[in-house]
């Protein structure tokens, strides 16, 4: 549907390996608010 209207959608967090990597990063490396 989106490509028929020349729109490109991306779902970066659909990749299981990427999600597992983000969850494995130690808390001291994560951004603090």
The token pair at 5 is: 């209207």
Q: Answer yes or no: is pLDDT of 31 > 70.
A: yes
* Number of helices followed by number of strands (H, E) in the chain: 1, 0
Q: How far is CA 26 from CA 7, 9, 13, 20, 30, in A?
A: 36, 30, 19, 12, 7
Residue 12 has a pLDDT of 67
| Distance in angstroms (rounded) separating the CA atoms of residues 7 and 32 | 34
Q: Residue ranges per domain, the chain?
A: 1-25
What is the tens place of the pLDDT at every residue in 6-23? 766 777 667 888 889 989
The number of C-alpha atoms within 13 Å of 18 and in the hemisphere containing its C-beta is: 5
């Amino acid at each position: 549907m989106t490509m028929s209207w020349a729109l490109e959608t991306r779902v970066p967090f659909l990749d299981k390996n990427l999600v597992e990597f983000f969850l494995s990063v130690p808390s001291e490396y994560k951004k603090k608010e």
